[in-house]
Amino acid sequence: MSVRRIRVGGADPYDVVIGAGVLGELPGLLGGGVRTVALVHDRGLAEIARPVGAVLEEAGYRVHALPVPEGEAAKEVGVLAGLWSEFARLGMTRSDAIVGVGGGATTDLAGFAAASWLRGVRAVLVPTTLLGMVDAAVGGKTGINIPEGKNLVGAFHPPAGVLCDLTTLVTMPREDYISGLAEIIKAGFIADPAILDLVEDDPEGAASPSGPHTLELVERAVRVKAEVVTADLKEAGLREILNYGHTLAHAIETAEDYRFRHGHAVAIGMVYAAELAALAGRLPADAVDRHRAVLTATGLPVSYGAEAWPALRATMTIDKKSRGSTLRFVVLDGLAKPGRLEGPPEELLEAAYKKVAR
């Protein structure tokens, strides 16, 4: 069994363990001194949560399974409040822990529940989707949604560990798996072009969990994120590059009431950011073309409705990366050369959108 361990540094360092059939690594990530474990899991993943709970019980922990709604429906204030009540009922103390099992929405919720309960308890995240493994579960960002926007309420709370068992990817719906691939491709554009080469050499294989490069693609994407968040946990500067494509993407998700796949929105957002950089004279046209080519080769979308622009533009105003009324975009000045574009003129914003409108 090939197991990869990636260290995420900072004030509270932790390991991301990646491999197939690595569930036995979980107690080692959780550590000693913990008695009670709240196992927060997507209610549709009971068959995956059960063996997780069994491994923890065998290691001597008292485990209480707490199912939550599937997908983005989990990231609501009411669901979070329900978890707080359950933690109180269980008598969870600051030395107890939370294990989050599910996709990115579930690990976001579990992480924020851990950050907010008693001002912070230990959490280990077990992402079961490609998106969760390469993005949501790594980096210490936690959060929930409100009607006004995605992830506007949250906290930085590094987990005690992250366990990526690649066997959980096999049962993922194809479209959901491809959605997660967008975040891997993003890592290729901002930092590791070898990712793009792997995807371009075998786009069909990249779009399948049984592809020949799945472990390497996941590992490379996690390493990119680990290096960035080690240097900048709280998004003081460098970490913003991980938001490449996300300004428009979050606006699309808000407009779609979070029913639009995150990776699909990021794919569109990356093409928009590339067009914006090209119009600003910072990125050559062939780099924009490469965005479209690599994304479409794997089945990801690269366009969105023309009529949606006014609503999307209004939503982008309250994006987390904005400073006051100034919009800030992560753009590329070349492959693996991320930069920032602050306060672009309205006509440039609209002209770039016309390039992705359908």
Q: In this structure, are 76 and 189 located in the same domain? A: no
Q: Check residue 181 and give its pLDDT.
A: 98
Cα 199 to Cα 246, 270, 297, 308, 338: the distances in Å are 21, 16, 9, 31, 20
Q: In this structure, are 32 and 153 located in the same domain? A: yes
Last residue of a domain, one of 146, 169, 192: 169
Mean pLDDT of 166-171: 94
Q: Check residue 323 and give its pLDDT.
A: 54
pLDDT, the chain, mean: 94
The tens digit of pLDDT for each residue in 111-167 reads 999 999 999 999 999 999 999 999 888 888 999 998 887 788 999 999 999 999 999
How far is residue 179 CA from its own chain's centroid?
A: 11
Q: In this structure, are 52 and 197 located in the same domain? A: no
The tens digit of pLDDT for each residue in 3-20 reads 999 999 988 899 999 999
Q: In this structure, are 79 and 208 located in the same domain? A: no
Tokens at 327, concatenated: 């919009």
User: Which of 220, 262, 292, 321 does the annotation list as catalytic?
Assistant: 262
Mean pLDDT of 287-296: 98
Known catalytic residue at 41:
no
- Would the annotation count 105 as a binding residue? yes
Known catalytic residue at 290:
no
Domain CATH code at residue 276: 1.20.1090.10
Q: What is the percent of the chain where pLDDT is above 70?
A: 97
How far is residue 352 CA from its own chain's centroid?
A: 25
Ramachandran angles phi, psi of 282, nearest 5°: -110, -15
Number of H-type helices and E-type strands within the chain:
14, 11
Last residue of a domain, one of 169, 185, 208: 169
Residue 340: how many CB atoms within 10 A of its CB? 13
Q: Check residue 319 and give its pLDDT.
A: 63
Is 55 part of a structural domain of the chain? yes
By three-state DSSP, how is residue 70 classified?
coil
Known catalytic residue at 347:
no
Q: In this structure, are 57 and 106 located in the same domain? A: yes
Q: In this structure, are 140 and 191 located in the same domain? A: no
Mean pLDDT of 226-247: 87
Domain of residue 140: give its range: 4-169
CA distance 179 to 299: 9
The number of distinct structural domains making up the chain is 2
Tokens at 8, concatenated: 């995420």
pLDDT at 341 over 70: yes
Q: What share of the chain is helix, strand, coil (3-state, %, to 5)?
A: 50, 20, 30
DSSP string, 47-69: HHHHHHHHHHHHTT-EEEEEEE-
- Would the annotation count 175 as a binding residue? no
Is 195 part of a structural domain of the chain? yes
Tokens at 174, concatenated: 């194809």
Domain CATH code at residue 47: 3.40.50.1970
Known catalytic residue at 216:
no
pLDDT at 335 over 90: yes
Residues, the chain, total?
358
CA distance 223 to 188: 11
pLDDT at 321 over 60: no
- Would the annotation count 246 as a binding residue? yes
Q: What is the percent of the chain where pLDDT is above 90?
A: 85
Is 224 part of a structural domain of the chain? no
For 240-345, where are the alpha helices, taking DSSP H only?
246-255, 262-279, 285-297, 309-316
Known catalytic residue at 234:
no
User: Which of 220, 223, 250, 321 does the annotation list as catalytic?
Assistant: 250
Residue carrying structure tokens 């680990």 = 226
Known catalytic residue at 213:
no
How far is residue 84 CA from its own chain's centroid?
A: 24
Known catalytic residue at 243:
yes
User: Which of 25, 76, 183, 275 does the annotation list as catalytic?
Assistant: 183
Per-residue confidence band for 299, with pLDDT thresholds at 50, 70 and 90: very high
The tens digit of pLDDT for each residue in 63-109 reads 999 999 998 899 999 999 999 999 999 999 999 999 999 999 999 99
Is 52 part of a structural domain of the chain? yes
Per-residue confidence band for 322, with pLDDT thresholds at 50, 70 and 90: low
- Would the annotation count 36 as a binding residue? no
The tens digit of pLDDT for each residue in 254-291 reads 999 888 999 999 999 999 999 999 999 999 999 999 99
Q: In this structure, are 142 and 190 located in the same domain? A: no
- The answer to whether 12 touches 158, Cβ cutoff 8 Å, is yes
- Would the annotation count 247 as a binding residue? no
Known catalytic residue at 291:
no
Known catalytic residue at 354:
no
Q: In this structure, are 252 and 340 located in the same domain? A: yes
- The answer to whether 120 touches 156, Cβ cutoff 8 Å, is no
**Exposure string (b/e) for 127-166, b if CB count within 10 Å is 16 or more?**
bbbbbbbbbbbbbbbbbbbeeebbbbbbebbbbbbbbbbb
Is 347 part of a structural domain of the chain? yes
Q: In this structure, are 178 and 155 located in the same domain? A: no
User: Which of 41, 186, 220, 246 does the annotation list as catalytic?
Assistant: 246
Q: In this structure, are 243 and 143 located in the same domain? A: no
Q: In this structure, are 149 and 179 located in the same domain? A: no
- The answer to whether 240 touches 233, Cβ cutoff 8 Å, is no
Is 234 part of a structural domain of the chain? yes
User: Which of 41, 157, 220, 239 does the annotation list as catalytic?
Assistant: 239
Known catalytic residue at 235:
yes
- Would the annotation count 75 as a binding residue? yes
Q: In this structure, are 126 and 190 located in the same domain? A: no
